[in-house]
Amino acid sequence: VDAGFDAHKIPYDVLWLDIEHTDGKRYMTWDRSKFPTPRRMIEDVASRGRKMVTIVDPHVKKDGGYPVFKEAESKNFYVKKADGTTDFDGWCWPGSSMYLDVTSPVVRDWWAGKFGLDQYVGSTKDLYIWNDMNEPSVFNGPEVTMQKDLIHAGGVEHREVHNAFGMYYHAATAEGIRRRNDERPFVLSRAFFAGTQRVGPVWTGDNAADWDHLRVSIPMVTTLGLTGLTFSGADVGGFFGNPDAELMTRWYQIGIYYPFFRGHAHLETKRREPWLFGDEYTPVIRDAIRRRYQLMPYLYTLFDAASREGSPVLRPLWYEFPDDPSVWAREDAVMLGPAILVHPVLHQGADGVDVSLPKGVWYDFDTGEKHVGPKRWRYPTSIADVPTFVRGGYVVPRRDRPRRSTAAMAGDPLTLVVAPDANGDAVGEVYLDDGASETSSYVRRAVTFSKHKE
């Protein structure tokens, strides 16, 4: 897979490994028949500026030969039944499982230590983590989760902490990566709560390869952003089912604007690497993904603003145009920050999109053609077209050289795209740092253009 991306000149940054990479669904282990030399594999991928992610879920396989299970059991670290003394035994992917009581700071501290390189055998500093099933999912529980009368640290019933349980697990995992690398952690989580935005990204869960799911991903991701969880996205192509070439291509064309962008599919679906949908579609998908990388300086600057101000990266139109009633209910178009409007193609077989531009000056991202809003018209589309516009009055920073990863782009020059408003003025911002450390030096610069200034 890694070599395939390079062979087809498609950039990517992360390879993800789901539960089948483990030894019998014992997390933080490796299936030695499939991954006999995990450290060497991770180091090879990292040599090209890329990372890997493995899945680690909160259920611990009940197995006396599994060191993580035995140690947690000996330390009395599991959630208890209603009697307050017996470890709760629930059913999840490994079968019979125990659940770490991450509401306890002692348990969270212990769990964070398990991500040390001396603990997680086969890992390196280029391996990051993905927490799934952390609501928590219990297959044989009521509502597919824990009973409300289970007991946590301090005698607290599960009903009191259910909504925060997943965030505690997420936070403990992220703390483990922070300790290991002494830099910003990256841990994806399915469960979240108020405060999760300080821990890491989330995604919308198990969607399907369906046009309705493509369409609904837009209000789902923008709503998460409005609540403060702006680092979010949906599985491109859908988790369940097999997207055809058209759906896959259209999903990439909007997915590149999700703040969190990845492809992810069920084990029993067909292979869906971007180059497997035919010669007509491979270059179109490549161009879409390259645009994501081209806009990385702009995206990174938006994330800096989000970290300081809480402003969402991907926004509904009404966020930028609150006084325009015509956009209040629009869910078929989005703003990437304040400067870029995207009207994705969301219907099968569509040969055009009804574009509606709010008041102001707009420039077609691909052709530079100028439009003055409010304006509504039918924009004809081939499979390669996605109506995208730069808002007049803004400067958009880009990096235009195609590269294999963000690491390979680090030293490339910036391109500043100036889109003047009706008065000939434009403003923007550029934020740069080392991309990893939590206390690095940084540059944050305002960029101003005016035709009235010499």
Query: Where in the sequence numbering do the catalytic residues fall?
Result: 132, 135, 206
- The crossing angle, in degrees rounded to 10, of helices 211-226 and 245-255 is 10
Query: Which two tokens mark 88?
Result: 């709760």
Q: How far apart are CA 234 and CA 220, in angstroms?
A: 8
Backbone conformation region of residue 186, classed left if phi is above 0, alpha if psi is from -120 to 50, else beta: beta
Query: Which two tokens mark 206?
Result: 């198990």
| Contact in structure between 197 and 226 (CB atoms under 8 Å) | no
CA 290 to chain centre: 17
| Contact in structure between 342 and 254 (CB atoms under 8 Å) | yes
φ and ψ of 341, to 5 deg: -110, 130
In a 3-state reduction of DSSP, which class is residue 280?
A: coil
Contacts of 28 (CB under 8 A, 6+ apart): 22, 56, 68, 114, 119, 120, 121, 123
Nearest to 391 by CA among 375, 372, 377, 367: 372
Parallel, antiparallel, or unpaired for β 415-419 and 442-450?
Answer: unpaired
Q: How far apart are CA 95 and CA 25, in angstroms?
A: 9
- Helix boundaries (H) for 24-116: 38-46, 67-74, 105-113
Among all chains, which residue has been given the structure tokens 């030293």?
411
For residue 368, give Cα distances in angstroms to 176, 356, 392, 394: 47, 17, 11, 14
In a 3-state reduction of DSSP, which class is residue 198?
A: helix
Q: How far apart are CA 281 and CA 276, in angstroms?
A: 9
